[in-house]
Amino acid sequence: MTSHTTNTPSTSVRIKRKFGAAPVAVNIVLLVATGYFLLPVFWLVVAATKSRPDLVSSFGFWFLRPQLFQNLQELFSEQDHVFGQWMLNSLLYSGVGALVGTVLAACAGYCLAVYRFRGKEAIFSLILGSVLVPATALALPTFLAFAKVGLTDSYLAVLLPSIISPFGVYLSRIYTQAAVPLELLEAGRIDGANEWQIFRAVVLRLISPALVTVFLFQFVGIWNNFFLPLIMLQNDRLFPVTLGLYSWQSQISRNPQLLLLTVVGSLVAVVPLVITFLSLQRYWKAGLTTGSVKG
Amino acid sequence: MSASVVDAPKRRRLGSRIAPAAFLLPFLIPFLLIFIGPIGYAVVQSLQKVERVAGLFGTPTTVWAGFAQYQRALSDSDFVASIMRVLLFGVIQVPVMMGIALLVALLLDTQSARLKRFHRLAVFAPYGIPGVVAALMWGFLYDPRLSPIVSGLEAVGLHPDFLGTDHILWSIANVVTWTYAGYNMIIIYAALQALPSDILEAASIDGARPLRLAFHIKVPLIAPALVLTAVFSIIGTLQLFTEPEVLKTITTTITSTYTPTMASYSAASANDYSYAAALSVLIAGVSFVLSFGFLRFTTRWNGTS
């Protein structure tokens, strides 16, 4: 990728001169865009540090008597520590859902890339077609079916639908086709390795950048999911943090105390995602490129 | 590269027949049971209705109703209005968001851009923020009691009513644009970075100015990435739910049938399951047809595969 962007000295000077036509304008527009995208986040950080009276009465875009630690303490002790439970639930749904989902998608994508069997293209078309069916439109049918078999209002009600990632299968397939030479698999077989050993020792290593991408986007997708838990869950001890915050928000008119806690909780709910994204940064960039260029 | 290079007998001998099944079935079985199955069940349920034989307290029985629920949906003025609303929303919001994403990506792709990593991360950051939190945050920024933006505008003599009937749809559009523009930008930017430099250099040596280079050379070359992001945006628009549902808690201008998905949710909450099923089948069907049709249309138009 980088080899495309490096030019020989003479052409890079030439291009720089051509591109340098309006450097000030380019950077001003970029700064405006960045301001738009960062401003609400900055507001949230500022607001989460304020006291209740200051939250409504002081200027929203700057700090005043910060008391973040006190707010956090209050957040986590509210309603018998329910917020901590929500965070743990979200970690469980996202962590387990994304891990299992990635493994299943990797195996299936690999299978569709290297083996030949009857009905393969039909199965792949079905999986690809289901990428085009919106998740929200699927959630309600899933709820109706789960209600029929008595699976609603349980951890499984949110976990089971989360482990299915048709997009993960698609990405694993195209990545395997691009990154795993079939000769390598043949070599493994001649050396006496069985199919599972080849997959674990050779293939997983080669396609790991794509798998990190699948895991990351599924983790974020499940963490941010709202409609599925909203229709599946009644018991608030099972809520993920998104649903918990929504339930607090809808009670603010009756209980104004919850306003500050909703703000602080919103900030806390984002932290695990920031950590995940930053720690896996070099992988998701590579993975996104694969997805778009091949798509 | 393709599987046909390896000769078939050797493959059959070495790779057993069970291996493909063992790799595929752990995904395929839950996929069929939890993903495809419910769609089929919803279709069946949408063709039924519940009747109470002996008045209000009689035992409910499920009877075949044909397309009655679909007829009901299409003559339900609230539902039809919700469809028109998301179509209007999509026609405006998707191009605006794609325009912002493309503009930022093209600017980041120029040599004059400074602090590229910082800008890229800042614009992408909202994608990592849950829709519920994004809607809560913007809800506070729209709320005249809390918002520094509203008080700032009022200080210069403007009186915006972000949560009023006239503006609420575009306030929702702003939240959606803010959340997803960066994701699309990253995909478009990655496609730009992958363009072969010799074409760009040749055009540049031929005297193409930056604007001409951007819109006559770069944009056509990254058309597949633009189509991909547009399709996902169209799918996203039709299932619009989280943002209006969360903003509904702070304004009365959003009804419980504001978007199609909200309408099906409110039918399900009222235990009107057959109707809810019919509505979600309609939503899934329409968005599948629209995104598939868009894909077909653009690939034919571009002449690419």
Q: Is A79 on the interface with B (CB under 8 A)?
A: no
Q: Tell me which chain B residues have a C-beta less than 8 angstroms from the C-beta of A270.
A: 128-130, 133
Using a CB-CB cut-off of 8 Å, the residues of chain B touching A27 are 112-114
The token duo for A138 is 């699927």
Closest CA to B289 of A137, A174, A139: A137
Q: Do B132 and A223 touch (CB under 8 A)?
A: no
Report the pLDDT value the prediction gives residue B54, as an integer from 0 to 100.
61
pLDDT tens-place string over residues B192-220: 988 888 888 888 888 878 888 888 889 99
Partners of residue B23 in chain A, C-beta under 8 Å? 107-108, 110-111, 115, 195, 199
Q: Please give the mean pLDDT across all residues of chain B.
A: 87
Q: What is the pLDDT of residue B155?
A: 86
Q: Could you give the CA distance from residue A1 to residue A15 in angstroms, rounded to a whole number?
A: 19
Q: Does the beta-carbon distance from B239 to A134 stay under 8 Å? A: yes
What Cα–Cα distance (Å) separates residue A144 from each residue in A131, A156, A244, B283? 21, 15, 23, 16
User: How far is it, in rounded angstroms, from Cα A50 to Cα A67?
Assistant: 6
Domains of chain A: 73-288 (1.10.3720.10)
What integer pLDDT is reported at residue A112 of this predicted model?
A: 95
Query: What was the pLDDT predicted at B9?
Result: 47
Helix, strand counts (H, E) of chain A: 17, 0
What letter would DSSP give residue B293? H
Q: In a 10 Å sphere around its CB, with 0-12 CB exposed, 13-18 middle and 19+ buried, how is residue A261 labelled? A: buried
Directed axis angle between helix A68-114 and helix A208-224, to 10°?
130
Contacts with A, B 30-59, CB within 8 Å: 30-31, 34-39, 41-42, 45
Paired with B49 in beta bridges are B63
Supply B295's token pair.
Answer: 């894909």
Whether pTM > 0.80 for this model: the answer is yes
- Report the pLDDT averaged over residues B221-232: 87
Of the candidates B114, B133, B145, the beta carbon closest to that of A56 is on: B145
| Nearest residue to B183 via CA among A220, A246, A209 | A220
Instruction: Say what the pLDDT of residue B142 is.
Output: 93
Please state the rounded mean pLDDT for residues B105-118: 89
Residues listed for chain B? 305
Residue B291 has what pLDDT?
83
Q: Name, in order, each residue with C-beta under 8 angstroms of B57's C-beta and a sequence gap of 6 or more.
A: none
Chain B contact for A279 (CB, 8 A cutoff)? no
CB–CB of A49/A63 below 8 Å?
A: yes
Per-residue pLDDT tens digits for B126-182: 998 999 999 999 999 998 888 888 888 888 888 888 998 889 999 999 999 999 999
Structure-derived torsion over alpha carbons of residues B246, B248, B250, B251, reported in degrees to the nearest 10 = 150
Chain B CB contacts of A186 under 8 Å are 6, 10, 14
Question: Where does residue A150 fall: left (phi above 0), alpha (psi -120 to 50 degrees), or beta otherwise?
Answer: left
Candidates B286, B232, B292, B231; CA nearest to B79 is B286
Which tokens belong to A177?
């086709």
Residue A198: C-alpha distances to residues A177, A202, B7 (Å):
15, 5, 19
Structure token digits, residue B288: 């599948």
The answer to whether the CB atoms of B23 and A108 lie below 8 A apart is: yes
- pLDDT per residue as tens digits for the range B237-279: 888 999 999 999 989 999 999 999 999 999 999 999 999 999 9
ipTM above threshold 0.90 = no
| Whole-angstrom distance, CA of residue B188 vs CA of residue B104 | 9
Per-residue pLDDT of B26-72, as tens digits, reads: 999 999 999 899 999 999 999 988 876 666 666 777 888 889 999 99
Kindly report the nearest CA distance between residue A215 and chain B, in angstroms: 14
* Cα distances (angstroms) measured from residue B87 to each of A33, B117, B181, B281, B286: 26, 35, 19, 17, 11
* β-bridge mates for residue B48, sequence order: B64
**Quick one: which of B91, B120, B100 has its CA closest to B238?**
B91
* pLDDT computed for residue B3 by the predictor: 46
Please report the pLDDT score of residue A285 as a whole number. 63
Nearest by CB to residue A30, choosing from B16, B113, B264, is: B113
Taking only Cα atoms into account, the Rg of chain A, rounded to an integer number of angstroms, comes to 24
pLDDT at B13 over 50: no
A104: nearest Cα among B35, B39, B41, B12: B35
Which residues of chain B lie closer than 8 angstroms to A177, CB-CB? 1
Residue whose token pair is 């939890």: B34
Which chain A residues touch B36 with a CB distance below 8 Å? Answer: 126, 130
> What parts of chain A have a pLDDT lower than 70?
1-21, 284-295
